[in-house]
Amino acid sequence: MLKLVTILLLASLASADTVEDLNERLDNLLQGGNLLLSLYGYGLNRLPDHKFPDLELRNGVHVGLNSLQRVGDATDNVHEDGSGTVHLHIGWHLFQLVFGSIRSQGLEYSGSINVKDSSFYISYDVVFHPACKVNLTRFELERLADVSLIASNPAADRDISDIFAEQVLPYYNAQVALYKNVFQNELQKSLCHNVANQNSANHLTAI
């Protein structure tokens, strides 16, 4: 999946010379990427059981990984020396977690957790002199917010946004951090392949 996301990001930046063009290209490619994610079965994913301090989740599935969307401007800031800094904010139109067993506040029930505001922030620097190098500076979930619960038990708290912000988001980012070096290496290989005979301007417009 990391290689697929890398390909989407690289293609989204190809020949882009304005923020507006970059946004439109990324939007279009995320649509195509969602089709590929669906094809490879990323629309419905099993989740491991996990116990947080105030929330225990079991027998779960994640719905909506194939609903990627841009949630902020995608920018490529080109510097005078030809290096560049890229900022991308990608979220999900549908981010739903369905569990057969949820334990919280002394209650146990089944239900679905809906995240209405999500954002994954990717930022990296690209330099070409004296050698091509990519430095991934941000690779993390910015937020999982506006979280509501639809539960089989009417006594369950419907707003669990605080629990997600304080406990679930840090857990997810700890898992994401395990793949940061892998993602940076994929960017390095893709961006720095065969650049010796190109100038800096072409390097950036070819990302």
CATH architecture of 2-205: Super Roll (3.15)
* Residue 126: per-residue pLDDT: 87
In this prediction, residues 46-73 reach a mean pLDDT of 95
Percent of the chain with pLDDT over 70: 83
In this prediction, residues 126-136 reach a mean pLDDT of 88
Q: Are 62 and 50 in contact (CB under 8 A)?
A: no
In this prediction, residues 173-177 reach a mean pLDDT of 95
CA–CA separation, 151 and 165 (whole Å)? 20
Using the predicted structure, report yes or no on whether residue 56 has a pLDDT greater than 90: yes
Between these two residues, 39 and 3, which has the higher pLDDT value?
A: 39
CA–CA separation, 159 and 147 (whole Å)? 6
Round to the nearest angstrom and report the end-to-end CA distance of the chain.
19
Using the predicted structure, report yes or no on whether residue 72 has a pLDDT greater than 80: yes
For the purposes of burial, counting CB atoms within 10 Å of the CB of 160, is it exposed (0-12), middle (13-18) or buried (19 or more)?
Answer: buried
Worst-scoring range by mean pLDDT, 4-13, 19-28, 58-67, 112-121? 4-13
